[in-house]
Amino acid sequence: MHSDPKRLRELPRSLSLRLLGSVPMGRIVFTMNALPAIRPINHVVVDGDVVMRCHGGAALLHAIGQVVAFEADQIDPETRTGWSVIVTGKAERVDDADQAARYRLLLRPRVDLDMVHVVRIRPELVTGYKLIENDENGHDAVA
Amino acid sequence: MHSDPKRLRELPRSLSLRLLGSVPMGRIVFTMNALPAIRPINHVVVDGDVVMRCHGGAALLHAIGQVVAFEADQIDPETRTGWSVIVTGKAERVDDADQAARYRLLLRPRVDLDMVHVVRIRPELVTGYKLIENDENGHDAVA
């Protein structure tokens, strides 16, 4: 998948999910109107799942039922070092009231009536990698 | 597209492209093996096009010929303010030697033999928005 062995070091699944859970925001990738769509969104990682919430009219609702990707990273644009984690899995709406309430609490301990929907991704694929320094050449981040 | 008018203020195309060009890194979204794929990557904006480069074995090469999305943002995870710009358009490989050389120079003024391919997106859709503060409620970023 990542074919520049000099710069990318693959990370184990557990560490990847831990890194993903260590930042407050990532980007969800899905299809909307037959076009690729991406949205920055706050998330938490709970029991290995990626959990977000959104309001009733959000573009993200298009993602429900789709196999989506979710990516978060911390990359220094100068040194081009850091990490990136991508999970792929089906996005589902959490309809169980108790479970949704628990997730909402973890996402932000504040009443916010507009953010009605809780969306969860159960990762099937988890790809994490560390970007390491390259002595001689400045390679462009990842890809 | 973005349906929470309290928090999102749409930006004109020219300002959106200027913002996109003001940061060194974004994320390209494409399809690989029938799954949604996303990669962080360095970019420049040249004459309104988004230009990246990659090495010969890069996953990004899958994107060539596809309609892809490219997103960059600057969002403060605490205040949840900032901006996000998404362009959608066809990704193409730049094969013209002079043009590719010019782009390479803009991407990084350094000899780097491994980054052989130059990929350009000609934006058809440009969506930029500013995330503004919300006095009462803390809404989750975008989506």
> pLDDT category, B134, cuts 50, 70, 90?
low
Please determine, for residue A14, whether its predicted confidence score (pLDDT) is greater than 90: yes
CA-angle at B38, arms to B132 and B82, nearest 5°: 10
Question: Which residue on chain A is closest to B134 by alpha carbon?
Answer: A112
Phi-psi group of B142: left, alpha or beta (phi > 0 → left; psi -120 to 50 → alpha; rest → beta): left
> pLDDT category, B135, cuts 50, 70, 90?
very low
Which token pair is B4? 């929470």
- Give the best residue of B23, B75, B142 to mutate against chain A (max A CB count within 10 A): B142
Residue B26 pairs in a beta bridge with: B41
Nearest beta carbon to residue A28 from set B2, B58, B143: B143
Q: Are A118 and A100 in contact (CB under 8 A)?
A: yes
ipTM above 0.90, yes or no: no
For residue range A85-112, list pLDDT tens digits in order. Answer: 999 999 999 999 999 989 988 886 444 5
> What average pLDDT does this structure show over B97-121?
79
Taking an 8 Å cut-off on Cβ atoms, the answer to whether B112 and A4 are in contact is no
Taking an 8 Å cut-off on Cβ atoms, the answer to whether A55 and B139 are in contact is yes
Residue A29 in any domain: the answer is yes
Query: What is the predicted pLDDT for the residue at B94?
Result: 95
Enumerate the residues of chain B whose CB falls inside 8 A of the CB of residue A139: 55, 112, 114-115
A47, A51, A126 from B53: Cα distances, Å: 37, 33, 25
Average pLDDT over all residues of chain B: 85
Q: Are B142 and A60 in contact (CB under 8 A)?
A: no
Of A36-40, A73-77, A124-128, B132-136, the poorest mean pLDDT is in B132-136
Domain limits at A62?
9-131
Residue A136 in any domain: the answer is no
Q: Are B131 and B74 in contact (CB under 8 A)?
A: no
Of A15-24, A127-136, B86-95, the poorest mean pLDDT is in A127-136
Please determine, for residue B11, whether its predicted confidence score (pLDDT) is greater than 60: yes
What is the C-alpha separation between B86 and B126, in angstroms, rounded?
Answer: 6
> What average pLDDT does this structure show over A22-35?
93
How many angstroms separate the CA of residue A76 from the nearest CA in chain B?
9
CATH of the domain at A122: 2.30.110.10
Enumerate the residues of chain B whose CB falls inside 8 A of the CB of residue A73: 40
> What average pLDDT does this structure show over B48-62?
88
Residue A1 in any domain: the answer is no
| All residues at 6 or more sequence positions from A99 whose CB lies less than 8 Å from its CB, including other chains | A118
| All residues at 6 or more sequence positions from A74 whose CB lies less than 8 Å from its CB, including other chains | A19, A23, A82, A83
Enumerate the residues of chain B whose CB falls inside 8 A of the CB of residue A81: none
Taking an 8 Å cut-off on Cβ atoms, the answer to whether B142 and A41 are in contact is yes
Residue B137 in any domain: the answer is no
Residue B141 in any domain: the answer is no
| All residues at 6 or more sequence positions from B56 whose CB lies less than 8 Å from its CB, including other chains | A3, B114, B116, B117
Residue B143 in any domain: the answer is no
What is the C-alpha separation between B136 and B128, in angstroms, rounded?
Answer: 24
> What is the total count of domains within chain A?
1
Residue A84 pairs in a beta bridge with: A73, A129
| All residues at 6 or more sequence positions from A143 whose CB lies less than 8 Å from its CB, including other chains | B28, B39, B40, B41, B52, B54, B58, B59, B60
Please determine, for residue B93, whether its predicted confidence score (pLDDT) is greater than 90: yes
Residue B46 pairs in a beta bridge with: B49
> What average pLDDT does this structure show over B65-94?
93
Please determine, for residue A10, whether its predicted confidence score (pLDDT) is greater than 50: yes
What is the C-alpha separation between B118 and B141, in angstroms, rounded?
Answer: 32
Residue A139 in any domain: the answer is no
Residue B117 in any domain: the answer is yes
Query: What is the predicted pLDDT for the residue at B143?
Result: 54
Please determine, for residue B137, whether its predicted confidence score (pLDDT) is greater than 60: no
